[in-house]
């Protein structure tokens, strides 16, 4: 099945014009401004203004900078774009997005993992991906659920109120499925993504090389924040257990006759 390409980020630019191809869509800039305004108070209340600034800056880079245009030319650039959203912006922004969403704490971990995994794999399969580049509406149908599912996943992994066991399982499972996706893209025997068959050679990559590079990026760099989060949750669990043991020991000692 073929789709008429009309990417939200525009047609693939020539390499010599790339750095001048910024996306100043007024609707996008307004949306970023509204998102920044809505998340400012939670960031200030939690004294995480620096983290908030980095998240807004990275989000702007993903959609406003020439990375947006480059992702119309290269599947590997699209992988970088998604890595910025999933592995960098989402872990920084989740607490600002879900600061009052207490109902989310009732959702089972397996559902959160399944939701994000479905979004990640769905939009990196050939037909859904090609459809997402067929127009602006389909593009945002890809981007918004992908980012929201990633932010929700990071809430499950990093929120100290969530059980450590569930967080560790979700984090490990995410690492495994991202590795599988990276391997699927890296070791495919032929190019899978028709929107980039004619655009990647201008940047010195064959379509298959472009796809393999995307797979390697999804396989390793995208996984590093999840690996770091896994170690962080283990450290938290050890510290909590040590604190509970120390508190119990002190309670026993306090009850001993003097």
129 Cβ contact list (under 8 Å, min separation 6): 123, 142, 193, 195
Residue 102 lies in a domain: yes
Residues 6+ apart with CB under 8 A from 145: 119
The answer to whether residue 116 is domain-embedded is: yes
Backbone angles phi, psi at 244, to 5 degrees: -65, -40
Whether 91 is in a domain gets the answer: yes
Q: Is residue 8 part of a domain?
A: no
Query: Is the torsion defined by CA of 70, 31, 61, 119 positive or negative?
Result: negative
Is residue 2 situated within a structural domain? no
Instruction: Give how far Cα 34 sits from Cα of 2, 37, 41, Å.
Output: 36, 5, 12
Tokens of 99: 């600061």
Rounded CA-CA distance 212/215 in Å is 5
CA-nearest of 186, 150, 227 to 76 is 186
- Cα–Cα separations (whole angstroms), residue 200 to 113, 205, 209, 219: 33, 5, 9, 21
- The values of phi and psi at residue 257, to 5°, are -65, 145
Residue for token pair 């770091």:
228
* pTM of the predicted structure, to 2 decimals: 0.91
* 230, 237 Cβ separation under 8 angstroms: no
Residue 157 falls inside a structural domain: yes
- pLDDT per residue rounded down to tens, the chain (258 residues): 677 889 999 999 999 999 999 999 999 999 999 999 999 999 999 899 999 999 999 999 999 999 999 999 999 999 999 999 999 999 999 999 887 777 777 889 999 999 999 999 999 999 999 999 999 999 999 999 999 999 999 999 999 888 888 899 999 999 999 999 999 999 999 999 999 999 999 999 999 999 999 999 999 999 999 999 999 999 988 887 666 565 566 666 566 666
| R_g (Cα) of the chain, nearest Å | 21
Domain coverage including residue 158: 15-255
Q: Is residue 98 part of a domain?
A: yes
Q: Which two tokens stand for residue 84?
A: 């910025």
Domain count, the chain: 1
């Amino acid at each position: 099945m073929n789709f008429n390409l009309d990417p939200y980020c525009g047609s693939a630019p020539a390499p010599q014009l790339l750095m001048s191809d910024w996306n100043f869509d007024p609707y996008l800039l307004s949306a970023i401004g509204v998102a920044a305004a809505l998340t400012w108070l939670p960031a200030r209340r939690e004294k995480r203004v620096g983290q908030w600034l980095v998240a807004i800056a990275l989000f702007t880079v993903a959609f406003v900078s020439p990375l947006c245009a480059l992702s119309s030319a290269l599947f590997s650039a699209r992988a970088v774009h998604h890595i910025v959203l999933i592995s960098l912006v989402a872990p920084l922004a989740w607490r600002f997005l879900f600061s009052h969403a207490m109902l989310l704490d009732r959702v089972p971990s397996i559902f959160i993992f399944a939701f994000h995994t479905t979004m990640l794999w769905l939009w990196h399969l050939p037909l859904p991906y090609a459809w997402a580049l067929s127009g602006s509406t389909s593009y945002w149908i890809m981007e918004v659920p992908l980012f929201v599912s990633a932010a929700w996943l990071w809430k499950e992994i990093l929120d100290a109120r969530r059980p450590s066991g569930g967080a560790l399982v979700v984090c490990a499972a995410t690492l495994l499925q991202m590795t599988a996706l990276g391997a699927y893209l890296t070791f495919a025997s032929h190019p899978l993504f028709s929107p980039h068959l004619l655009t990647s050679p201008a940047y010195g990559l064959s379509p298959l090389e472009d796809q393999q590079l995307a797979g390697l990026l999804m396989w390793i760099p995208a996984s590093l924040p999840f690996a770091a989060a896994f170690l962080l949750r283990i450290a938290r669990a050890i510290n909590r257990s040590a604190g509970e043991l120390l508190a119990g020991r002190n309670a026993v000692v306090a009850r001993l006759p003097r």
